[in-house]
Amino acid sequence: MLKPLMFVGTGSDVGKSVITAAFCRIFKQDGYTPAPFKAQNMALNSFATPDGLEIGRAQAVQADAAGIPCHTDMNPLLLKPSADTICQVVLNGKSIGNQHAYDYFTKDNKTALRKEVCAAFDRLQTRYNPIVLEGAGSISEINLREVDLVNMSMAAHANASVILVADIDRGGVFASVYGSILLLTEEERKLVKGILINKFRGDIRLFESGVKMLENLCRMPVVGVVPYFKEIHIEEEDSVMLHTKNRSAKDGKVNVAVVLLQHLSNFTDFNALEHDSRIHLYYTNQSQELTDADIIILPGTKNTLHDLQILRRDGLAEAIIHAKQNGKTILGICGGFQMMGRELHDPMCIESDLRQLPGLNLLPLNTTLKGEKITTQVNFKFNGGETTCSGYEIHNGRTEILSSITPLNQKSDNTTDGCFIGNCYGTYIHGILDNSEFVDFLISSFLKEKESQPAFDYSKFKEEQFDKLADHVRNSVNLPLIYSFIQ
């Protein structure tokens, strides 16, 4: 048995999730049975487990890296922002309602939540070895120390060997590392065994003196300096970088535009398209850039009515309707599917204070948001075909089809999903674009005038990326030293 290993950060977006995924794959390669764990995650990007519950997408990716099915014990507490100060709280895979951020972080509910997340870790540890834990944000938010569930309080419960991850690419690495350690209590500091410098650019030999300075300052070893990489593609946890993918159409490719919604969720639905050499994928909230696309995708959203209101305000709704009339393909996924109907209703104000809005009227359906969320993995066949595909559903909406039209998908439980009319398609299934057969079907009419290339195998691609990531990190850290911390 190995002790738990935990990666915490000097701040947000320093690379903790990717480093955790790397060590899940490294331990798997070395013959262990690792599992990821993050007590509390805040993200719009979620995933349905095999038993129909909801966790953060990052832990599902890390479970893939470990080669195991994901489970709610890997992420017992998930916060899904629906507004600047409001979050939906998902506990052990099920929503327990919306809560104001101030109330969540100040109300006396942390004792009960701490018991839940610790119990989830304890269950997970009986099944896997080792547990690779991930912290959240900075470990030195001293104003939140008393209500911390995910960083050093979790490390203490797990008796984990902690490694502090710092992002040198953003600058200030000496101050952020030294300050983070200095602000810990004496008991917390004892748990931190080493420092990992992430996202290094340039000649690492130039940082050798910096490594020695850090070790002297902090009185602990630097366990590795991991170079910045661009050619390894691991699903990102947050959509904060989507604006950098705001690129216009390209000649010679099937141009696919994803509408950049304010509350866009499950953006990993489009990762397979991004790596398909036949396709040029871009995100946009500009009307003209939508007009230039062959295919427009309305993605999922955590606040469907609010985002639909913004589409109308900014002229994007009109651009989508005109694109449909000009023969472009429109695909709606989850919340995007709901927007394509005639009406949307939120009588219980589940997502916002908007109770009703007209839809884009591209498909004959009405949707009402209900209190109980549907979360399930699904197998299905699309458009009357024989190929079995897979995906997952996460939604509060219940959609009523208003006329006799063809369902898009036939699910393995003999129910149907979605519908289509002409060049307009709608579905509740996230991950539908991970199936190469569906992508081939979607882009086939546009390939006639493009260069024909083979279909893209996204599952094989993901496995290759995990192995590349493991090799990259393995070659950049002192792995025997890290093993010594947990043996």
Alpha-carbon torsion angle 202, 205, 206, 207, nearest 10: 100
What DSSP character marks residue 430?
A: B
d(CA 459, CA 321): 34
Structure tokens given for 281: 């994928």
The active-site residue out of 70, 334, 389, 419 is: 334
d(CA 152, CA 75): 16
d(CA 406, CA 394): 22
Question: With contact defined as beta carbons under 8 Å apart, do 348 and 448 qualify?
Answer: no
What are φ and ψ of residue 196, in 5° steps?
Answer: -120, 120
Structure tokens given for 457: 């195998």
Q: Cα(first)–Cα(last) distance of the chain, in Å?
A: 7
Judge whether 334 counts as a catalytic residue: yes
d(CA 63, CA 283): 28
Tell me the one-letter amino acid at 59: Q
What DSSP character marks residue 348?
A: T
Task: Compute how many other C-beta atoms are within 10 angstroms of the C-beta atom of residue 115.
Answer: 10
Residue ranges with strand state E in 192-317: 192-200, 222-227, 254-259, 264-265, 279-284, 295-298, 300-301
The active-site residue out of 263, 280, 306, 430 is: 430
Question: Partners of 75 in the beta sheet?
Answer: none
d(CA 239, CA 253): 24
What DSSP character marks residue 299?
A: -
245: Cα within 13 Å, side-chain hemisphere: 19
Task: Select from 98, 82, 203, 77 the least CA-distant residue to 150.
Answer: 77
Q: Is the peptide bond before 130 cis (omega within 30 degrees of 0)?
A: yes
Please state whether 203 falls in left (phi above 0), alpha (psi between -120 and 50) or beta.
beta
3-state secondary structure of 90: strand
Structure tokens given for 479: 């792995």
Question: With contact defined as beta carbons under 8 Å apart, do 440 and 455 qualify?
Answer: yes
Question: With contact defined as beta carbons under 8 Å apart, do 340 and 298 qualify?
Answer: yes
What DSSP character marks residue 338?
A: H
Judge whether 430 counts as a catalytic residue: yes
426: Cα within 13 Å, side-chain hemisphere: 26
- The catalytic residue positions are 334, 430
